[in-house]
C-alpha cells in the first residue's frame, strides 16, 4: 500500500487497516489536500483483499473539528474542499469492507459528515457531533443533508443543521445516529473488539449487506451532494462567509449581514 501522507497515519494490524487524521494541533481540522489523500487511502485499501476492516480515527483530543479555516486562502478553488470531502464520503461507501469510525472529542462540520458516513460509529462519552456550518455562514456538506436525516429524521436533523448546537454522544446513540458509546478509557478496546468481530465475519456477506443497506437508505446521496455543492459554492463567495473567517481568526463573534 502507498505510504500515507504526513498528516494521515496509516497502520496495518493484521486484517485491520487503521487510518488516523494526524493534525492534533488543530483538532484534526482538514484541508483539501488532507481530504484528497484520505479518499485515496480509503479507495486503495478497498482494493486490498487482505484488508477486512477499516478503522478511521483522529489523533489527540478530537476526531475532526471540520475544515481548517486558517488555510481558506490556500483553497485551489471555492469548491475544491467540497469536491475533496465528497470523494471521501464516496470512498467510504464504495469500499466493500466495513468502515468503523472511532470518535473522541469533536466530530464537527465536515468531520461530522465523515464520521457519520462510516458504517459503524463507536464514540467516547466525551465525544460530540456538530453541524457547525451555520456558525460560519455556510450549509452542511459532505453528504450531511442526507446522512443526518437518514439517521434521526427531518425534525432533529433540521434542529442540528439550523442551530449548529453540539449533540452529545450519548444523545446521538439514543437517537440512532451512531452505533454505541463507551467510556473514554474503553474506546480503544471497544474499537479493537468491534474490528475483530467484523474481521472474522464473512467478507462477501458483509460487502453485500453494506451495499444493500446503503442503496435502501442513501440512494439519494449523489443528488444531496450535488445540491450541497451548488449551495455551498455560492455561500463560500458571500460576504457573510468572509466575515466569519475574519472573526474566526480574530477570535470574535461574526456579525452577519445577509449578503
Over 60: is that where the pLDDT of 73 sits? Answer: no
pTM assigned to the model: 0.95
Kind plus residue range of the DSSP H or E element containing 80: helix 80-94
Question: What pLDDT, in 10s, does the model give residues 215-250?
Answer: 999 999 999 999 999 999 999 999 999 999 889 888
Question: What pLDDT, in 10s, does the model give residues 166-216?
Answer: 999 999 999 999 999 999 999 999 999 999 999 999 999 999 999 999 999
The mean per-residue pLDDT over the stretch 91-101 comes to: 98
Closest C-alpha among 12, 67, 77 to residue 41: 12
In the block, cell 442540528 appears at 160
Q: Given pLDDT bands bounded at 50, 70 and 90, which one contains residue 74?
A: very low
Note the pLDDT of residue 75: 44
For 139-171, letters b (16+ CB in 10 Å) and e give: bbbbbbbbbbbbbbeeebbeebbeebebbebeb
Closest C-alpha among 65, 54, 43 to residue 17: 54
Distances (CA, A) of 154 to 59, 82, 160, 180, 221: 32, 23, 10, 22, 15
Query: How is residue 75 written as a grid cell?
Result: 483553497
Closest C-alpha among 231, 257, 228 to residue 242: 257
CATH code for the structural domain at 8-184+202-248: 3.90.226.10
Please give the Cα distance from 114 to 148 (Å, whole number): 11
Question: What pLDDT, in 10s, does the model give residues 15-43?
Answer: 999 999 999 999 999 999 999 999 999 99
Domain ranges, ordered by start, for the chain: 8-184+202-248
Question: What pLDDT, in 10s, does the model give residues 139-178?
Answer: 999 999 999 999 999 999 999 999 999 999 999 999 999 9
Amino acid at each position: 500500500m502507498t505510504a500515507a501522507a504526513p498528516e494521515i497515519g496509516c497502520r496495518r494490524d493484521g486484517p485491520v487497516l487503521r487510518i488516523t487524521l494526524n493534525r492534533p494541533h488543530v483538532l484534526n481540522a482538514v484541508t483539501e489536500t488532507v481530504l484528497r489523500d484520505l479518499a485515496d487511502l480509503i479507495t486503495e485499501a478497498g482494493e486490498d483483499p487482505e484488508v477486512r476492516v477499516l478503522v478511521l480515527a483522529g489523533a489527540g483530543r478530537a476526531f475532526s473539528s471540520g475544515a481548517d479555516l486558517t488555510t481558506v486562502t490556500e483553497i485551489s478553488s471555492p469548491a475544491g474542499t467540497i469536491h475533496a470531502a465528497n470523494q471521501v464520503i464516496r470512498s467510504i461507501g464504495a469500499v466493500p469492507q466495513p468502515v468503523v469510525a472511532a470518535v473522541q472529542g469533536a466530530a464537527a462540520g465536515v468531520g461530522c459528515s465523515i464520521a457519520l458516513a462510516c458504517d459503524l460509529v463507536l464514540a467516547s462519552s466525551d465525544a460530540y457531533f456538530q453541524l457547525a456550518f451555520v456558525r460560519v455562514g455556510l450549509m452542511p456538506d459532505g453528504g450531511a443533508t442526507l446522512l443526518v436525516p437518514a439517521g434521526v429524521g427531518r425534525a432533529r436533523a433540521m434542529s442540528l443543521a439550523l442551530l449548529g448546537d453540539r449533540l452529545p454522544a450519548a444523545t446521538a446513540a439514543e437517537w440512532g445516529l451512531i452505533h454505541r458509546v463507551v467510556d473514554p478509557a474503553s474506546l480503544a478496546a471497544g474499537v479493537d473488539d468491534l474490528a475483530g468481530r467484523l474481521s472474522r465475519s464473512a467478507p462477501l456477506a458483509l460487502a453485500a449487506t453494506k451495499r444493500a443497506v446503503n442503496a435502501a437508505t442513501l440512494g439519494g446521496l449523489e443528488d444531496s451532494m450535488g445540491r450541497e455543492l451548488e449551495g455551498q459554492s455560492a455561500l463560500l463567495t458571500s460576504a457573510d462567509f468572509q466575515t466569519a473567517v475574519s472573526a474566526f481568526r480574530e477570535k470574535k463573534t461574526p456579525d452577519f449581514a445577509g449578503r
